[in-house]
Structure 1
């Protein structure tokens, strides 16, 4: 049986990625051991893992994840208040497939989309 999914995204610099997700997005480091070149973060029930890829060219990185929320308006407002850059084409909007969504790009150009069913 499948029970969870924990996406793995590339990162060029662990310290930069950790700072962005922990200090800006409000995640916390997950696990009791610090692995070289690997980072695990957690917020509520969402885990994201990162693997080091120093040669990553962010301009050609197509890493993407979709995170569901039950408080999209509150989350969007909190990101705006924290001055987190919203993707230029990803501001909060209702999509034809019945989701209210917005997107951000992390320091390595991974696209993180947040959505809530309407």
Structure 2
């Protein structure tokens, strides 16, 4: 294949975890992801076509400086679901951004921030 014709097909965030088992449990119980792989120092969760990978660290500062964004369809419904489970970041309520995205932020137990967003219909 000609290198100029290569196509990028998807990105998968790889976030830091202070305890792989606890992280997988948090995503399963609080955010309705499914744990699809677990190793002593690595874990993977999935929800629909989205995966998030986790690597083990003992440095609690790393997840505090880590984030990713996931595009969704039905951000209002997802926001209600995440609000009910108590994972929405205190400073991350659902808002309309000036660049045409409705988004909110979730903070996991390790300190990773995940923004969920949907293009505005306006």
Structure 1 counterpart of 2:78: 75
1:65 is paired with a residue whose SS is strand
Q: Which has the larger radius of gyration?
A: 2
State the superposition RMSD in angstroms.
1.4
Structure 2 counterpart of 1:92: 94
Using the TM superposition, give the Cα deviation of residue 85 of structure 1 relative to its aligned residue in structure 2, in angstroms. 3.0
TM-score (norm 2): 0.86
The answer to whether structure 1 residue 40 and structure 2 residue 44 are counterparts is yes
Alignment counterpart, residue 25 of structure 2, candidates 19, 27, 30? 19
Unaligned stretches of 5+ residues in structure 2: 1-6
Structure 1 counterpart of 2:3: none
**Partners of 1:81 and 1:88 in 2: CA distance:** 13
Alignment counterpart, residue 57 of structure 1, candidates 58, 61, 70? 61
Number of matched residues? 114
1:51 is paired with a residue whose SS is strand
> Which 4+ stretches in 1 moved above 6 angstroms?
none
Unaligned stretches of 5+ residues in structure 1: none
Does the 8 Å CA contact 2:87/2:108 hold for their aligned counterparts?
Answer: no
